[in-house]
Every structure is written in structure tokens, then in C-alpha cells.
């Protein structure tokens, strides 16, 4: 006697759900449309096994040693209570009848625009008005797609169902299939007189103004989401979202690294040696810089809280001022005499050179890190 459990690949104590799942998997793999003619016999065996094991009475007979599909073996051929055309339809055509017509009004697509801002706007935040070319509801028809004074009619082919049924012949016999109605496109209704402005689409292209609040701390690549400000959907459906992508323009003085700002302050050699108070023009206005006596080239002075605003955490980064000491290249006779006297007083007329370890640059440190040094 044929082992139907082995054909389906399930244990003898398999549940009805396990049997049905195994059958569907094998039936899809062995269907002649997929496996060709070579899978036809295997498909028939799988169908026969499911016919028996899905029916409680036939399964009981089979477990007692009687094949109910054999001539004189019981209930005879054909499909029992557990196996019918609905199972066949679900197996081959995606799980049953369509739920109904497709709605004409559908959600619109999301849209993306780019906004260029300067460093000041990124630091403190701003509000901008954008001109966006997008799809909006057709004001002539109000989004329903029909010429004013007319309306959509129920499709005469599918009678509003949005789908039609057809009978297909196969080696199993006649099988009922369901497909979207070609006359109405699956909507269940037709528009005999479409709106002249939107051609029945329910939406038109137009330019509109959108207001966007740019928070402090945004950077190049930051995207701001404006809910329901994207394209209106077909049939006047709900709008998608609008994403505003930020691009920050470079500043003439300050360089941004994260939420910190960096700039270079050039000071005379005498100011670095003697110390002084300088005024620095920052994004927050003029700020006094206390340059201590003996300030060295490359020294960094940090002004707390004068950087870019933190996008999510609140507060602001810092402003880092890099000191560059300017050495005079052209001296008058009097200035040269004064410097020579200073060198004599400091014993630096013929200074002994002192070597120190080289300080690797940014790219050298990055190279060493990548190489594992």
C-alpha cells in the first residue's frame, strides 16, 4: 500500500495543519506549470495523499490498512470533505477570492527636496519657505476624477466587484480563477467622462509653498520629515511625506567638526610673547580673547558653548581658536637692533638646536590606526 505520509513528508501523528502545509508546499513545487511534465505524476501522488489524509474518515480507514482511493477500498476516488476546489484555488492562485474592488483613492508617494543653509542657520536654527513642485488635488473635480456634473458608474462587466471569474481547464478538470476586471482596472467603477484638467487622475502637478522649521544642530545629510506634505495620491488620496535634506554651505572663517567650530587666529610675535587681549568676531558677536604671555604657535584656546547647537541633546558645542604666531619678515634697522639686543640678553645669539619628537599629522595617525600600529 502506498505510504501517503511519506509522500507528504509528515509523521503519522501529523496534525491537519501540518498535512495541509506540507501539501501546499509540494503542490507548488510539483505543479506542471512550474516543474513541467516531469512533475505531473508527483503532483497527482501528492494530491491523492492529501485527499486521504485531510479527510478524517479516509485517514482512519488508511491507518487501519485500507486505501480508500483503491477500487472497492472505501469511499472511492474523487475529493473528500477535506480536499476541494477551494484548496486547489488557494494553492495555485494565492489564497482565495479578492476581498473587493481596488479603491481609486490611494496614498501618494513621498517626496525629497534639498535645502541649502549657512553655518549661522545650522547653529541657531531657522524657518524657511520652500517652493515645491508636486502633485496636488485637482480643484476642478475635487479629486474624484470625473468631469464636474458627472460621476463614476458601476462597471457593467464585473458589476462593481473589481474582478471577474474564468473557468480554466487543467488535467485536474475545470478550475475557477479570478482576475482583475480589465474593463475597470479592478476599481469596480468606470469614469465615462473624465475631468479635462487631470484626465481622471484626481490630481495635477503644481508649485506650492511649504514652511519648514530647521532645528539647531542640523548638518549636511540631515533629513527633516514633513508629514503629509508630499505628493497627493491618485483619486485625491492622502498625501505622502516630504523629506527636506539639508546641505550646509562652507563658512569663510569657521570649520565645523561635529558640533564644535574651529578657526585660526593670527597674532604678532610680540603679542604672543608679551600677552594681550584681542577681540574675535564669532557667530555670537565680538568676544574678548585673553592671550597669555608666552603663548605658543599651535596652541588652542577653547571658548565654551560658542559652537553649533546640539541637534537632540540641547546646548551647544565649543569654539576652538588655533593660535598662529606671525614672525616678521621685513625689519627696519631699529627693529633689527632691538631684536639682536633681546637675543643677546637671552643668550640666543648662537642658540643650540634642540630636537624633539615629531608630531604626526592627522593623516599619519589615521594611517597608523588602520594599519594596527
Binding residues for Zn(2+): 138, 141, 155, 158, 181, 184, 195, 198
φ, ψ dihedrals at 176, nearest 5°? -85, 125
φ, ψ dihedrals at 7, nearest 5°? -60, -45
Strand-pair partners of 190: 153
CA distance 323 to 329: 19
CA distance 172 to 170: 5
Which residues are known binding-site members?
A: 138, 141, 155, 158, 181, 184, 195, 198
CA distance 323 to 267: 7
Q: Cα dihedral angle (219, 214, 137, 132), rounded to 10 degrees?
A: -60
Name the 3-class secondary structure at 42.
helix
Assign residue 78 a region: left if phi > 0, alpha if psi is -120 to 50, beta otherwise? left
Give 256's DSSP letter: E
Strand-pair partners of 244: 113, 224
**HSE, side-chain direction, 13 A CA sphere, residue 372:** 0
CA distance 52 to 111: 55
Amino acid at each position: 500500500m502506498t505510504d501517503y505520509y511519506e509522500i507528504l513528508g509528515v509523521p503519522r501523528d501529523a496534525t491537519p495543519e501540518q498535512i495541509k502545509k506540507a501539501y501546499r508546499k509540494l503542490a507548488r513545487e510539483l505543479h506542471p506549470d512550474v516543474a513541467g511534465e516531469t512533475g505531473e505524476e508527483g503532483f497527482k501522488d501528492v494530491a491523492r495523499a492529501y485527499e486521504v489524509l485531510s479527510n478524517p474518515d479516509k485517514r482512519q480507514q488508511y491507518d487501519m490498512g485500507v486505501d480508500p482511493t483503491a477500487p472497492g477500498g472505501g469511499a472511492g476516488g474523487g475529493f473528500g470533505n477535506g480536499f476541494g476546489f477551494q484548496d486547489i484555488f488557494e494553492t495555485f492562485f494565492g489564497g482565495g477570492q479578492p476581498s473587493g474592488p481596488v479603491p481609486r483613492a490611494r496614498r501618494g508617494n513621498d517626496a525629497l527636496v534639498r535645502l541649502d543653509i549657512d553655518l549661522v542657520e545650522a547653529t541657531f536654527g531657522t524657518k524657511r519657505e520652500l517652493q515645491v513642485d508636486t502633485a496636488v488635488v485637482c480643484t476642478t473635480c475635487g479629486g474624484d476624477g470625473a468631469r464636474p456634473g458627472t460621476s463614476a458608474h458601476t462597471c457593467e462587466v464585473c458589476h462593481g466587484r473589481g474582478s471577474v471569474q474564468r473557468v480554466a481547464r487543467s488535467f485536474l478538470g475545470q478550475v475557477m480563477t479570478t482576475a482583475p476586471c480589465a474593463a475597470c482596472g479592478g476599481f469596480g467603477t468606470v469614469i465615462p467622462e473624465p475631468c479635462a484638467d487631470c484626465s481622471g487622475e484626481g490630481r495635477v502637478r503644481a508649485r506650492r509653498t511649504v514652511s519648514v522649521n530647521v532645528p539647531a544642530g542640523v548638518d549636511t545629510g540631515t533629513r527633516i520629515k514633513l508629514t503629509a506634505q508630499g505628493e497627493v495620491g491618485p483619486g485625491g488620496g492622502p498625501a505622502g511625506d516630504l523629506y527636506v535634506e539639508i546641505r550646509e554651505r562652507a563658512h569663510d572663517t569657521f570649520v565645523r567638526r561635529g558640533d564644535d567650530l574651529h578657526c585660526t587666529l593670527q597674532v604678532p610675535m610680540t603679542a604672543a610673547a608679551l600677552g594681550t587681549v584681542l577681540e574675535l568676531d564669532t557667530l555670537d558677536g565680538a568676544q574678548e580673547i585673553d592671550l597669555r604671555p608666552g603663548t605658543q604657535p599651535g596652541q588652542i584656546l577653547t571658548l565654551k558653548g560658542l559652537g553649533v547647537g546640539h541637534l537632540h541633546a540641547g546646548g551647544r558645542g565649543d569654539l576652538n581658536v588655533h593660535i598662529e604666531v606671525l614672525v616678521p619678515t621685513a625689519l627696519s634697522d631699529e627693529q633689527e637692533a632691538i631684536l639682536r639686543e633681546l637675543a643677546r640678553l637671552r643668550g640666543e645669539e648662537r642658540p643650540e638646536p634642540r630636537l624633539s619628537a615629531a608630531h604626526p599629522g592627522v593623516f599619519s595617525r589615521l594611517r597608523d590606526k588602520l594599519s594596527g600600529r
